[in-house]
Amino acid sequence: MADAAARPATFVPADPGFEPRVRDSFARQPFMATMGATLGTVAPGRVEVILPFDAKVTQQHGFFHGGAMGAIADVAGGYAAFSLFPADATVLTVEYKINIMAPGKGDRLVAEGVVLRAGRTLTVVRVDVHAEAGGTRIHCASGTQTLIRLDGRSDGKA
C-alpha cells in the first residue's frame, strides 16, 4: 500500500461555486494573458496552468525560461489554495521555492498545484511543472509554496 503522505488529501471547498470564481479570477490576470497561459483542470485543492510554447517565453537556448516556469507554478499553486477558500476571501503568495531539474523543452508546460495542507490562514501547496512534447512528459520543476487567505477582501480590482 502506498504511503499515506504520498496521496493527495481530499478537500471540500468552502464555496460550492469555487470553479467559476477561480476561472474568473484567472481571466483577470494580464500577466498570464501576456504569456499565453490558460487554465486546465480546476478541482478542489488542485489546479493546472498550461503554457503553450512561444519564443517570447524562452531563454537564449530556446528552452522555456525559468521565470515562465516559476510564474505558472506560482499561479497554479495560488489557485489550488484559492479553490478551497470561502467566496469572500482572496489569496496572496507568501513565499515559494522552485527547483528546476530539467530544461523546459517541448510544445507546452503544464504546472500543477496540489494543496498539501489547508489551514485557516496559511495554506501549503506542492507544485510540479512538466514539459510535454509528442506525447512525452518530462518532469522539469518542483517546488513548495505558502499562501495566505485574506478574508473579507475582494478578489477583484482594488
Tens digits of residue pLDDT in 129-139: 999 999 999 99
| CATH 3.30.200.20 given to domain 4-151 | no
Q: Give whole-number Cα distances, 59 to 37, 54, 55, 65, in Å.
A: 17, 11, 8, 5
Reported confidence tier of residue 103, pLDDT bands at 50, 70, 90: very high
Q: Give whole-number Cα distances, 54 to 6, 42, 68, 132, 136, in Å.
A: 34, 24, 11, 14, 19
At 19-45, the pLDDT tens digits run 999 999 999 999 999 999 999 999 999
Reported confidence tier of residue 105, pLDDT bands at 50, 70, 90: very high
At 77-95, the pLDDT tens digits run 999 999 999 999 999 999 9
Domains of the chain, residue spans: 4-151
Cell 494543496, residue? 115
Q: What is the pLDDT, as a whole number, of residue 55?
A: 97
Count of residues making up the chain? 158
Q: What is the pLDDT, as a whole number, of residue 121?
A: 97
Is residue 101's pLDDT more than 70?
A: yes
Stretch 42-67: mean pLDDT: 97
| Residues 92/150, Cβ–Cβ less than 8 Å | yes
Is residue 157's pLDDT more than 90?
A: no
Q: What is the pLDDT, as a whole number, of residue 7?
A: 55
φ, ψ of residue 75 to 5 degrees: the values are -70, -40
Nearest C-alpha neighbor of 52 from the set 67, 40, 41, 37: 37
Q: What is the pTM of this model?
A: 0.92
Query: What CA–CA distance (Å, rounded) separates 98 from 100?
Result: 6
Q: What percent of the chain has pLDDT over 70?
A: 93
Nearest C-alpha neighbor of 11 from the set 113, 118, 93, 90: 118
Is residue 2's pLDDT more than 70?
A: no
Q: What is the pLDDT, as a whole number, of residue 111?
A: 98
